[in-house]
Structure 1
Amino acid sequence: MNDDALQRNIRQTVASLGLSLKGRTVLTEAASGPYCVTPLIAAMAGARVIAFGKSTRHGSVEEVFAQLEQRLRTCGIGDCVLTDSLTPEAIGAADIITNSGHLRPLDADKLRHAKPGAVISLMYEAWELRDSDVDIKACKNRKIPIGGLNERHPAVGVFEYLGDMAAVLIERSGLTVRDEKILLLCNNEFGPYIAKTLCAKGARLGVIATQTHRERYPADAVWLSDTPGQLNDHDFRDASAVVFTAYPFDQVWISPHGPYPVAFFQEHFPRAVILRFAGDIDTPALDAAGIRYFPQDVAPGHMGILPSDVGYEPVIRLQAGGLRVGQAMLEDSFDVNGQSIGGIITS
C-alpha cells in the first residue's frame, strides 16, 4: 500500500471507530510489513507513542526504524519514540500497553513497572487470550485490566477476511480454490466465515465443525459431521486439502491419540494435505504416517496464516480496533456506533 493510500485508510478507520487518544501514551511495537501501522494509528489518533522494536528474521531493527521513520514523516507525525530498549520508564509511562508481538510476553517482570490506571489492550478477541502472551495472574494482582476486541464489530470486521486468508493458504500450498474438493475441519467461530468465502470462490467444500454454528454455514457447503468419529456418507475421500483450525491454538489437536487422530486422516482423507490455519499438530506423527501438511514450520500456538498475508487493510482494522478497546477501558465505555467494541476480560 502506498503512503497516500495508507494514510487515507488509517484516517478513515480512526474516524469510523471514534478513536481518540489525545493526552494518552501508548506503548506498542515497531514492526515490519503491514504491522508497521500500529504506532501510526495511535499517533494519528493523537497519542504519544513509544514503539519498541528488535531485529528479527524479517529485518534488522535499524531497517525497521528507518522504514517507520519514513512513514511517520509522510504522515506528519512527530510524537513517536522508537526504541530498542524496553525500559521500566517506557513501560511506566504507558496508559495503554498493546499485546503486540515484540512486547510479548507481558509477564510479571515487565508489568511490575506499569503505572496505576494502565490498561492492556489485546489485538484479538477475548477467547484467544493465552497466558503465554499476557500473565493474567500478574494483571489480577496489580489490578491491570485486560481488554479483548470484538473483531466482528462493523467498524472492524476482521472476521470477514478469514476466508481470504484461507484462500491464500490454499494457493500457497500449490492448489487452487475453484473446483477444488476441500474439507474444512473447525471447532471455533472462524468456520462459517471461511466457508462463506471458499464456497463463493467455487470450492467444493465439506465441513466437519461444531454443531453450535451449523446454521451459519452456507447452503452449498456439505455438512459431514460435528465430530470426526461419526461421518455422514460423503464423496470427499479424494479431497485435496483439509483446512484445519482449532482452538486453543496452543493445544496439539492432531496426534496419534488426540482429538483428531492421525488415523482418521489416513482412513478418510488419504490424499489431502493438512493446511494449518490454526491449532498445533504433531508433525513427527504425521511424517511417520506419510501425511502431508503445510506450512512446514509454524511456531507453537501461532497461526499458519495471518491477516497481514492478505494486505494492510485487515491489519489496520485489527490494530485500530484493539487501540479503541484501550480507549474504551480508560473511558469505561465500550459502545461504538451502538455496538460493543469489546470488553474487559480481567481487572
Structure 2
Amino acid sequence: MSRALTATLLDLSELTVLTEAATGAYAVTAVLAAMAGARHVYAFTKPTRHGTPGDARQQTLELADSVGVADRIDVLEQITPDILNQTDIVTNSGHLRPLTAALIDKLPKEAVIALMFEAWEFRPNDLDMQACLRRGIPIVGVNERHPAVDVFSFLGPLCVKQLHDCGLPVYKNRIGVLCDNDFVGSLRAGLTNSGASVETFDSVEAVYRDEWDAIIVALRPAAQPRIGSPEATHLAACAPAGGIIVQFWGDMDRTVLSANGLAVWPTAPPALGHMGILLSEIGPEPIVRLQAGGLRAAECVRRSRPVSTDGFAQIVTRPLVELSPIHTRSLPR
C-alpha cells in the first residue's frame, strides 16, 4: 500500500472521501484514502455473501490501526445527508452501488465520483448518470494502463489462475481466446508466457474447429448474453469432446451451452456484467494498485488538474448503455 501511494503520488489532504468498508483485499480502499492524508474517510458497509458489517468493520479498522490511521475512518451502516454534503470524492464501490440520484443530489457541486476502473468499462446500472450530468458532477475513470497502476498486466496471470482452477496446466494446452476488447493483448501474453498455444478471435463466428482444450470468453457484456443459443451451437461445433468454455468476462446462457454438450467454468455463474474470477484471487497487489489509481484519478479531477491520455484520469462523458464493468462481482467489490 505504501509503494502504491508513492508510485501514484496520491494526496487526499483536505478532502473527504466516501467509500466502502469491505472484506478481503477490498478492505484496503478506505485505509489507502486515510494513508493518503484524507481529512476524513467515511466507509459504508452492509451485509454481503462475503461477510457481515461486523466482518467489514473489523478487517478495515484492524488494517487501519496497523498503519496508524484508524482515527480518521468512520465505518457506517447508514449515510446521512450531513456526510454527503461534505464529501469530495465518492467511490463507485460494491457496498455503495447503485449511486442513486437521491445520493448524488446531496453532494457538493465540486464533488467527483471515482469509477475505480476505466471509463470505457462504465456500466449504467452502477450509478445515475443523468443525475451526474444534471449536477455537473464528473464520473472519473482510471487509466489502468498507467505505469503506476498497470492492472492490465495482471489479467494474463489471472486467466492462467482460472485455467489452473478448472484443471488445466496451461502449458502445452491449445487455447482459443474469444475477446473483442482491450484485454486481448494481456490475455494472449499471459497464456503464451505460460506455455500455451493461443489463437485469438474477436467474434464467435471467427472461431474455427480445432483441438481446443479450452475456449476463453472475454467479451464486453451487453443487454443480452454474449453467448446465446446461436453462439453456443457454433462453439459446440468448434470444440472437441471434453472442451471447456471458460467465462473470464461477458455474460453467457449456461443452459444452452450445457444443452450443446459444453462444459462451463466456473461452475457458479458470476453476477451479470462481472468477471468470472476476482482480481484478488492472485493476491492483494492488483487491488491495491487499482484502488490507489482510482482515488488518484478522482483527486486529479477534484483539484482541477488537466486530464490527458497518458495521465491517471479518464472522464465518462456520455451514457453508453452497451458498456459494462471490468471488475469482479461484488467481492465486495
Q: Do the aligned residues in 2 keep the contact of 1:148 with 1:325 (CA within 8 Å)?
A: yes
Amino acid at match of 1:28: T
Counterparts of 1:139-150 in structure 2, within 5 Å, are 139-150=132-143
- Pairwise CA distance, 1:342: 2.0
Amino acid at match of 1:206: E
Deviates more, 1:282-291 or 1:176-185: 282-291
Report what 2:316 is aligned to.
Answer: 345
- Pairwise CA distance, 1:249: 5.6
Report what 1:23 is aligned to.
Answer: 14
Q: Partners in 2 of 1:321 and 1:40 — Cα distance?
A: 14
Amino acid at match of 1:304: G
TM-score by length of 2: 0.90
Q: Partners in 2 of 1:243 and 1:107 — Cα distance?
A: 35
RMSD: 1.8
Deviations, residues 65-91 of structure 1 (Å, cap 9, x unaligned): 112211111110021111111222222
Q: Partners in 1 of 2:173 and 2:77 — Cα distance?
A: 46
Q: Partners in 1 of 2:302 and 2:214 — Cα distance?
A: 45
Q: Partners in 2 of 1:109 and 1:174 — Cα distance?
A: 47
* Structure 2 residue runs without a partner (length 5+): 319-333
Deviates more, 1:133-142 or 1:316-325: 133-142
Q: Partners in 2 of 1:333 and 1:270 — Cα distance?
A: 54
1:331 aligns with 2:323: no
Amino acid at match of 2:211: D
Q: Partners in 2 of 1:305 and 1:123 — Cα distance?
A: 18
Amino acid at match of 1:32: T
1:305 aligns with 2:296: no
Report what 2:81 is aligned to.
Answer: 88
Counterparts of 1:228-247 in structure 2, within 5 Å, are 228-230=204-206, 237-247=210-220
Match of 1:266, SS state, is helix
1:228–1:276: structure 2 CA closer, same or farther, 3 Å change rule? closer
Amino acid at match of 1:320: A
Match of 1:71 among 42, 46, 63: 63
- Pairwise CA distance, 1:270: 3.5
Q: Do the aligned residues in 2 keep the contact of 1:93 with 1:115 (CA within 8 Å)?
A: yes
* Structure 1 residue runs without a partner (length 5+): 1-9, 210-226
TM-score by length of 1: 0.86
1:61 aligns with 2:37: no
Report what 1:177 is aligned to.
Answer: 170
Amino acid at match of 2:214: A
- Deviating above 6 A after TM superposition, structure 1's stretches of 4 or more consecutive aligned residues are none
Q: Do the aligned residues in 2 keep the contact of 1:22 with 1:45 (CA within 8 Å)?
A: yes
Deviates more, 1:37-46 or 1:300-309: 300-309
Match of 2:160, SS state, is helix
Report what 1:263 is aligned to.
Answer: 233
Q: Do the aligned residues in 2 keep the contact of 1:334 with 1:341 (CA within 8 Å)?
A: no
- Pairwise CA distance, 1:192: 0.6
Q: Do the aligned residues in 1 keep the contact of 2:207 with 2:238 (CA within 8 Å)?
A: no
1:114 aligns with 2:116: no
Counterparts of 1:272-283 in structure 2, within 5 Å, are 272-283=243-254
- Pairwise CA distance, 1:92: 2.3
Q: Partners in 1 of 2:191 and 2:92 — Cα distance?
A: 31
Q: Partners in 2 of 1:187 and 1:273 — Cα distance?
A: 19
Q: Do the aligned residues in 2 keep the contact of 1:242 with 1:274 (CA within 8 Å)?
A: yes
Q: Do the aligned residues in 2 keep the contact of 1:251 with 1:279 (CA within 8 Å)?
A: no
1:168 aligns with 2:168: no
Q: Partners in 1 of 2:306 and 2:159 — Cα distance?
A: 31
Q: Percent identity?
A: 38
- Pairwise CA distance, 1:250: 5.6
Match of 2:35 among 30, 34, 44: 44
1:108–1:60: structure 2 CA closer, same or farther, 3 Å change rule? same
Report what 2:324 is aligned to.
Answer: none
Deviations, residues 192-235 of structure 1 (Å, cap 9, x unaligned): 101101101101112113xxxxxxxxxxxxxxxxx443557xxx
Report what 2:147 is aligned to.
Answer: 154
Q: Partners in 2 of 1:127 and 1:13 — Cα distance?
A: 23
Q: Partners in 2 of 1:200 and 1:249 — Cα distance?
A: 30
- Pairwise CA distance, 1:269: 1.1
Q: Partners in 2 of 1:249 and 1:176 — Cα distance?
A: 31
Report what 2:329 is aligned to.
Answer: none
- Pairwise CA distance, 1:290: 2.0
Report what 2:322 is aligned to.
Answer: none
Q: Partners in 2 of 1:253 and 1:37 — Cα distance?
A: 33
Deviates more, 1:151-160 or 1:104-113: 104-113
Amino acid at match of 1:280: D
Amino acid at match of 1:205: V
